[in-house]
Homo-oligomer: A and B are copies of this chain.
C-alpha cells in the first residue's frame, strides 16, 4: 500500500503597514516589483517555496500609504507564522512592515470578506512647509473653516450613488456606497478627515477630501455636495486631493 501524504493547504492572513512614497501603488502591474503586492509576492514565493497569489483587501494608488492593509494567501509551506513574519521583515526595505501574520479560516478572502474600511486623509494647515509632514499630508496654507467642513461631511453619510465623487466616468456596476461617518478633527496644525464606509469607488476618498478642503477654504458651497450626489457630475465636485495625504487606516471583517 502506498500512502500519499497530501500537504495541507493553509490560508494565511497578514496585516501590513507601508509608506507608499516610493511605490507604484498596491497592485502588480506587468513585471514591476515596484508595487507593494509585487514586492510581497516575490518575497512570499521565495520564503514559502510556493507560487503565491497575494489577495489584498483592495488597491491603494501610487503614493498612498497604509497603517493597516490586510491580505491573505494560500500556501502548502509548513513554515511557522512567527518565522514567516521574521523572514519577511528582515528582507523588506524599511518602508513596508509586516505587523502580524496568523492562520485564517480556509475560506477567508481579504477582499470579498471586507465589510468596511476606514481611510484617513491628512492636511497640514499652517502657513509654512512642515518638513516632517511633506510626504504624509496635503499642505493647505490658508486657514480651513473646520465647522463648515464638519457640516458638509454629514451630507455624505448614508447610502448614496457616489459616481460624481469618483474618477470612474461611468460604470456598469453599481456605484452606490454607504458612508457610515466622516469625522473632521484638528490637532497641532493637522486636519484629519476620517472616512468610514462599506467600500469606496476609485479616487472617492481623495475627491471627498478635496471637496471638503475647498469648502473649508470657502471656494465651494456646502450645497454642492447635495447637488453632486443627486446629479453625479464629477466636474462640480472638488479637486482630487493628492495621494500622499491618504492612508488606508483599517479594514473590517
Contacts and interface: CB of A to CB of B under 8 A. Distances in A.
A119 B53 CA distance: 47
Interface string A77-115: 000000000000100001111111000000000000000
Number of copies: 2
Contact of A89 (B18, B65, B98, B129): B129
A89 B131 CA distance: 11
Task: Sort chain A's interface into a size bin.
Answer: 10 to 19
Contacts of A129: 89, 94, 97
A131 B94 contact: yes
A98 B131 contact: no
A6 B65 CA distance: 56
A132 B20 CA distance: 10
B131 A19 contact: yes
A231 interface: no
Most chain B beta carbons < 10 A, residue from A94, A100, A131: A131
Contacts of A17: 128, 130-132
Contacts of A132: 17, 19, 65, 136
Contacts of A89: 128-129
Nearest to A15: B128
Interface in A200-233: none
A202 to B, nearest CB: 25
Contacts of A65: 132
A12 B131 CA distance: 22
A143 interface: no
